[in-house]
Structure 1
Amino acid sequence: MAGPDNQKFCLQEVLDSFKSCLSPNREIYMEHYVAGWKGLIKLLNSLGSVFGFISKDAASKTQILMNFLDSKNGSEYATVQSMVKFELDNELVDVNKKGIYPESGCRTLLRLHRALRWLELFLDRLRTSKEDDKTSVMCREAYNESLAHHHPFMIRKAAGLAFYSLPGRPGFLEVMNVGSPEQVVAMLGEAVPLISEVYTITEELYQKHNLLDLP
């Protein structure tokens, strides 16, 4: 049976998943992308219920993508690139914004993609922060630069309040379950560029196919 340790966030797991994410020709393996996100959801959950509004949504989105991977068309969803091609070729994406296919792979991944940018920006600020820097400020700045643009007012307000309850930098570095602050910073130095690369490849692919504002 899975013990509570399985639910503990571990930065190493996220690093390993994003390391495995890219194929030699820079395609993104869906299975490892989802695994990376499952790790990030553990991070959100470890910060308390205040981030439930994001972690619950991310958990349901990763499940939708897993269902696609396990479906009869699973091979079409092996990479983000193959998914985009398959869904566009078969007109399974709401490109004309008619409110259809709300759970298409492309739309589902877009929601995770936007949230990934917020976490990437936040973890990078954490990596370069000084001992007395406030994690609440780092997190809010990262949110305002990314996810806030896609959230309605009430969620933005809830997020703003949630950031105030974040632990201080020392407590946050402990949550990473890596070791000393120096070890955490070193591992973030490895993980953040990988997350950034996966984000950039996805962003360019979605831009190319006009998928960045799917309703």
Structure 2
Amino acid sequence: MALAFGELAADLEAAGELSVTDFAKACSLVSVLFGSLGFAFKFAEKDYTSKVDDLVQASERFKTLGSLLEVDVEQGTVRNGGSHSRNLLRVKRGIEMVKILFEHILESECSHLRDSASKAYEAVFSQHHPWAIRKAVAAGTYTLPSKSQFLKVLKEDDASARIHMSGYVGGVKPVIHHVETLFLSRNLGLDW
């Protein structure tokens, strides 16, 4: 994941735009992480994977994320359920949640993922979910694995995980910023 997002960030710096194909490939790697968080994030993994799959299919038609968004803007379908633009925004939130999760893990000495996952969910998704989903997620965080169990599933130790998490955070930041800029430059906002 860290390598893929590092390459995306380098491509973005060189070209000023992101390929839908490369973006979708990098984002597909994040699905494994959601699955590693256990039952509490199974729903998120399925939803995220379906959105990434849509972007993979869209890559056959669109070369860049900007062109994908532009067609939905022209057709007035940006906010429609199932639109490529809406799915792009949802995928952006998924990779952003992982960024915040990793940042919190790197900053804290907690042995459990509950606090880190709660903070990441609160920062990214909670404002977009109704009360019932927020409560279900809060309850589900109690079933999250410990940090050591999580790292074992990922086949990492603490030192290697820190390197990979830091690499992901550094690589994904400009990617997230680019996607946000695509929406904001078209006055679409990000709060829907």
Smaller-chain TM-score range? 0.7 to 0.9
Q: Which residue matches 2:164?
A: 187
C-alpha contact (below 8 Å) 2:51/2:88 kept by paired residues? yes
Q: 1:102 is paired with a residue of what secondary structure?
A: coil
Q: 1:207 aligns with which of 181, 184, 191?
A: 184
Task: Kindly state the Cα deviation for residue 172 of structure 1 after the two structures are TM-superposed.
Answer: 2.0
C-alpha contact (below 8 Å) 1:58/1:112 kept by paired residues? yes
Task: Kindly state the Cα deviation for residue 112 of structure 1 after the two structures are TM-superposed.
Answer: 1.3
User: Do structure 1's residue 171 and structure 2's residue 179 form an aligned pair?
Assistant: no
User: Do structure 1's residue 78 and structure 2's residue 63 form an aligned pair?
Assistant: yes
Q: Give deviations 1:47-93, integer Å, cap 9, x for gaps.
A: 223212211111111121122223xxx1xx222122122332x3252
The one-letter code matched in structure 2 to 1:140 is: S
Q: Which residue matches 1:18?
A: 5
Task: Kindly state the Cα deviation for residue 136 of structure 1 after the two structures are TM-superposed.
Answer: 0.2
Separation in structure 2 between the aligned mates of residue 145 and residue 41 of structure 1, nearest angstrom: 19
C-alpha contact (below 8 Å) 2:78/2:85 kept by paired residues? no
Please identify, of 146-155 and 168-177, the stretch whose mean Cα deviation from structure 2 is larger: 168-177
Q: Give deviations 1:16-45, integer Å, cap 9, x for gaps.
A: 221232421331222222222222111111
* Root mean square deviation, CA, Å: 2.0
Task: Kindly state the Cα deviation for residue 214 of structure 1 after the two structures are TM-superposed.
Answer: 7.6
Q: 1:35 aligns with which of 25, 28, 43?
A: 25
Separation in structure 2 between the aligned mates of residue 38 and residue 149 of structure 1, nearest angstrom: 24
Q: 1:44 to 1:94 in 2, by over 3 A?
A: closer
C-alpha contact (below 8 Å) 1:117/1:147 kept by paired residues? no
Aligned ranges 1:1-215 → 2 under 5 Å: 14-22=1-9, 23=11, 24-70=14-60, 74=61, 77-88=62-73, 90-94=74-78, 101-130=80-109, 132-178=110-156, 180-213=157-190
C-alpha contact (below 8 Å) 2:39/2:143 kept by paired residues? no
**Stretches of structure 1 lacking an aligned partner (at least 5 in a row):** 1-13, 96-100
Separation in structure 2 between the aligned mates of residue 173 and residue 81 of structure 1, nearest angstrom: 36
Task: Kindly state the Cα deviation for residue 154 of structure 1 after the two structures are TM-superposed.
Answer: 1.5
Separation in structure 2 between the aligned mates of residue 115 and residue 212 of structure 1, nearest angstrom: 17
Larger radius of gyration: 1
Q: Which structure dedicates a bigger proportion of its chain to helix?
A: 2
Task: Kindly state the Cα deviation for residue 161 of structure 1 after the two structures are TM-superposed.
Answer: 1.4
